[in-house]
Amino acid sequence: MNQGIAVSDVHWMMDALQSIEVGLLVVDSDNRIVAWNAFMEHHSGIKSASAIGANLFQLVPNLPVDWMTRQLEAVTALKIPVYSTWKQRPYLFRFKSYRPITGSSDLMYQNVSFLPLGSVSSESANICITLYDVTQSAVSEQAMNQLNDELAHLSRTDRMTQLNNRGHWEELALREFKRCRRYGNTSSLVMFDIDHFKNVNDTYGHQVGDEVIIALATTVRKMIRDSDMAGRYGGEEFVVVLSDTDAEGAATFCERARLEIEQMVVEALGETVRFTISLGYSQMNPDVSSLEVWLKQADAALYYSKEHGRNQVTLFDPALIPL
């Protein structure tokens, strides 16, 4: 404080520091507490009379001693303020939140500053630690992030099958296409649909048809790796990008899928349904100048499977299949 301050003014200044809604404590170079305001008293339950003169780490249990020591040392050595945010460390002092009834957090989130205080002998300068209660904004931000994640998931996912929806799948496939073009990777694109799906719907009803689609999607989800991208392209039409997988690997995948579906029995609403799928796939090749071309090739191969008896797998071959 300035020397110009009259003694009579010190009283209200101390009062202001006492009652400010910010935690304020000052420690000396041996971590002994020099000041401890009302905010600290009330939230910690430790009276300032017992706090002052005590070693901070002995007085307050559960402080992250190593981490705090490092911060305090940095302030002393470098003479710069050091900050810690709630994202880094939700709280330093384990205080209850201000809204035990209507709040959504039991504990108080804190932003903390460690500020070097000026001193006549700079060797043993004190450090001011201030605690800001940021529970409200922390909780709102977390809620917003969670909401955003949910919204993002919803906007990317096909509700019925939990596979990627067409829009999001196209984004992923485009990224994979570009990656292959840039780095020369070989990935494959598979397209397939359910044979005579209209018959399933007509015979058993749409609800059973939906169960068939869900069963197929579940099987596909189990078969793919984390790096593969499966999506529902249309009603009963599906797409999978098998990343870093050549025609041979894709053939194995397709054949396995075809067999599994052929052997699968779907039981829904008292009905027992068996069905098959037709597949077409295209390995990334120099002719694939865009995602559209890649899709067209896989689609043409799928059409070839359909034309040649269904329940089979076809690799796109420009010599055999017209685009």
Partner 1 sequence: MSIPILICDDSGFARKQLARSLPQNWDVEVSYAANGVEAITVIKDGKADILFLDLNMPVMDGYQVLEAVRSQDLPTLVIVVSGDVQPEARQRVMALGALDFIHKPIDSAKLLAILEQYGILQELDGRGSSEEAQDSHLLIEDLTFDIQEGYQEVANVGMGQAADLLARLLGVFIELPVPQVRKLSASRLPQLIRNAIPASEVSVVTQGFVGSGVSGEALLFIEDSHLDGLAQIIERQVDINAGRQLDLLMEVSNILIGACMGGFAEQLDLKFSMGHPVLLGRALDVKDLPLKAVNTDDELLTIEMCYSIQEQHINCSLLLLFTGDSIPMLDERINLLVE
Pick from 37, 84, 105, 164 the residue near partner 1 by CB under 8 A.
Answer: 84
**Residue 87 token pair:** 């994202």
Find the shortest distance in angstroms from Cβ 123 to partner 1: 18
The alpha carbon torsion through 21, 26, 31, 36 (nearest 10 deg) reads -50
Which of residues 179 and 296 has its CB atom nearest to partner 1 in the complex? 179
Find the shortest distance in angstroms from Cβ 77 to partner 1: 8
- Please name the residues in contact with 286: beta carbons below 8 A apart, sequence gap of 6 or more: none
Total chain residues near partner 1 (CB under 8 A)? 14
Find the shortest distance in angstroms from Cβ 174 to partner 1: 16
**Is 252 among the residues that bind partner 1 (CB under 8 A)?**
no
Find the shortest distance in angstroms from Cβ 42 to partner 1: 22
> Binding marks (x or -) toward partner 1, 108..147, rule CB under 8 A?
---x-x------------------x---------------
Count of C-beta atoms within a 10 Å radius of residue 268: 17
* Rounded Cα distance, 87 and 90, in Å: 6
* Rounded Cα distance, 134 and 89, in Å: 12
Pick from 50, 83, 146, 323 the residue near partner 1 by CB under 8 A.
Answer: 83
Task: Tell me the window of 25-33, 76-84, 252-260, 298-306 that interacts with partner 1 (CB under 8 A).
Answer: 76-84
Buried b (16+ CB within 10 A) or exposed e, 201-234: beebeeebbebbbebbbeebeeebeeebbbbbbe
**Is 256 among the residues that bind partner 1 (CB under 8 A)?**
no
* Rounded Cα distance, 198 and 204, in Å: 10
Which of residues 113 and 276 has its CB atom nearest to partner 1 in the complex? 113
Q: Helix or strand or coil: residue 104? A: coil
Which of residues 1 and 6 has its CB atom nearest to partner 1 in the complex? 1
Cα→Cα distances 274→204, 223, 261, 271, Å: 12, 19, 8, 10
**Is 67 among the residues that bind partner 1 (CB under 8 A)?**
yes
**Is 88 among the residues that bind partner 1 (CB under 8 A)?**
yes
Task: Tell me the window of 74-82, 92-100, 155-163, 263-271 that interacts with partner 1 (CB under 8 A).
Answer: 74-82
Count of C-beta atoms within a 10 Å radius of residue 45: 8
**What is the contact surface with partner 1 in residues (CB under 8 A)?**
67, 74, 78, 80-85, 87-88, 111, 113, 132
